[in-house]
Amino acid sequence: MTTLLQIKELQVSYGAIIALRGISFEVHLGQVVSLIGANGAGKSTTINTLSGLIKPRSGQVNFEDQDITGWRADRVTRRGLVQVPEGRQVIAPLTVRENLEMGAYLRRDKAEIEQDIQAVFDRFPRLKERHHQKAGSLSGGEQQMLALGRALVARPKLVMLDEPSMGLAPLLVNEVFAIIRSIKEEGKTILLVEQNARKALEIADYAYVLERGQIRHHGPADELRQNEAIIKAYLG
C-alpha cells in the first residue's frame, strides 16, 4: 500500500494556546481515513495545518514523499491536497456555475473541466437546476453539495472534508454520506473529519480519535466500532 500523506509529530499553537500536541498519522492511497473527536479537539486545526492555512510550530507533513510543511495554502492545493472547509464555505456572490469553475481554478484543460462540471451536475441534479443562481441563496444542504462538487472539479489526489454533515437535517446527513461513499467507490482518497462518529466509522477504512490535541485511539474502523471506550464516549 502506498502512503499518500504522512504526518509526523505535528504541533500547533495559537499564541499561548496549544491546539495540537504532536500528532502523527498516515493516509494510504485509496483509503478513507476518518479523524473523529469532540468539539475543540483540534480536528479543524489539523486539516487547516495540512492545507497550509496555519503554520505548525514543529513537525512534518509529507505528501507523496515530498515535504510540504509550511507551504502556502494555494501551493498545497496545487499539489493535489484539497480541503472542503467547515461550514460550507461556498462563494456567496458567485453563481453555482462560477463556483464550480473556481474549483477548477488551477486547471487549464477547458474541455475536460466542462466534462467534470457536467459530471457534478449529473451527480447533483439540484445544482444543475440552479446553476445560474447565486451560491449564497442556496439552502444549507445544497451549499454542502456545491462545496463537495467544487472540490471534485479540482481533481484532487486527496480530499479533506471538514464536518460535511455539520448543521444538516438527518435525512440530508444520510445523503451527504451516500455521496462520500460514492466518491470513495471511485477510488478517491479521503480524509474525513467528523463529529458524527457513528457515520464516520461506517464509511471509513481507518480512524484516529483526537482528544485535546492528541491521538487517543486509532485502528481499523471496524475495530474501533467494537472498542468499549469509544462506544462509551462517542457512540453512546
Partner 1 sequence: MRVAIVIDIINAIFEFIFNVLNGALDPILTQLAEIGFREPVVQFMLINAILGLSIYMTLNCGLFSLANAGFMAVGAYVSVILTQKYDAEFGLSLLGGALAAGLVAIPIGLPVLRLRSVYLAIATIGFGEIVRIVVLNVDTIATDLFNPDEPIELTFGARGISRIPKLTETAHLVFFLILMGYLLYRMQRSRFGRAMTAIRQDEKVATTLGINVVYYKNMAFILGAMIAGVAGGFSGHATRIITPKDYGFDKAVDILAYAVLGGLGHWSGPIIGGMALKAIPERLRYLNEYTGALTGAVLLLIIIYLPSGLVSLGQPSFWRRGGRFEGARRLAGIGVALIVLTNMLPLRNLGSDEVLLGLEYWHLWGLGAGVGLIYWITSRQPASTGGRFSLPMSAVTGLLALGLIIAGLIGRIDQPGDGYYVLVFGLLLATAAGVIPYAPQHTETPPAEQVEGSHA
Partner 2 sequence: MDINVPQQLVNALWLGGLYSLFALGYALIFSVLGLLNLSHSAVFACGAFVGLYTACGDEVFTTTCTELDRPIWIVIPAAMIGAGIVSVAVDRVAFWPLRKRNAPRMNQLISSIGAAALLVNLLQIQFGAAQQRFPFGSIPNDPVSGLPVVITPIQITALVIALGLMFALRILVKRTRLGREMRTVAFNERVASLLGVNVDRTYMTAFFIAGALAGAAGMMYGLAFNSMTPFMGESVSLKGLTVIVLGGLGSIEGAVIGGFLIAAIEVFSVALGRSDIRDAFVFLLLFVILVVRPRGLLGQGVEDRA
Ligand X SMILES: Nc1ncnc2c1ncn2[C@@H]1O[C@H](COP(=O)(O)OP(=O)(O)OP(=O)(O)O)[C@@H](O)[C@H]1O
Which parts of this chain interact with partner 1 (CB under 8 A)?
A: 14-15, 53-58, 69-70, 87-90, 92, 136, 143
Q: Which of 164, 192, 162 is nearest to 176 (CA)?
A: 164
**51 near Mg ion (CB under 5 A):** no
**Residue labelled with grid coordinates 497550509:** 52
Q: Which of ligand X, Mg ion, partner 1, none interacts with 22 (beta carbon under 5 to 8 A by kind)? A: none
DSSP letter for 139, please.
-
CB of 104 to partner 2, least distance (A): 9
Contact 233, 217 (CB under 8 A): no
**44 near Mg ion (CB under 5 A):** yes
Q: Which of partner 2, Mg ion, partner 1, none interacts with 70 (beta carbon under 5 to 8 A by kind)? A: partner 1
Q: Under 8 Å CB-to-CB from 7, ≥6 apart: which residues?
A: 23, 24, 25, 26, 46, 50, 59, 60, 61, 62
Member of 40, 93, 167, 220 binding ligand X (CB under 6 A)? 40
CB of 89 to partner 1, least distance (A): 5
CB of 48 to Mg ion, least distance (A): 9
Grid coordinates belonging to 89: 464555505
Q: Which is nearer to ligand X, 39 or 66 (CB)?
A: 39
**85 near ligand X (CB under 6 A):** no
Span of 35-43, 111-119, 144-152, 223-231 interacting with ligand X by CB under 6 A: 35-43
Q: Under 8 Å CB-to-CB from 234, ≥6 apart: which residues?
A: 36, 197, 198, 209
CA distances from 30 to 19, 159, 163, 176 (A): 29, 11, 20, 19
Q: Which residues bind ligand X (CB under 6 A)?
A: 14, 17, 19, 37, 39-45, 86, 195
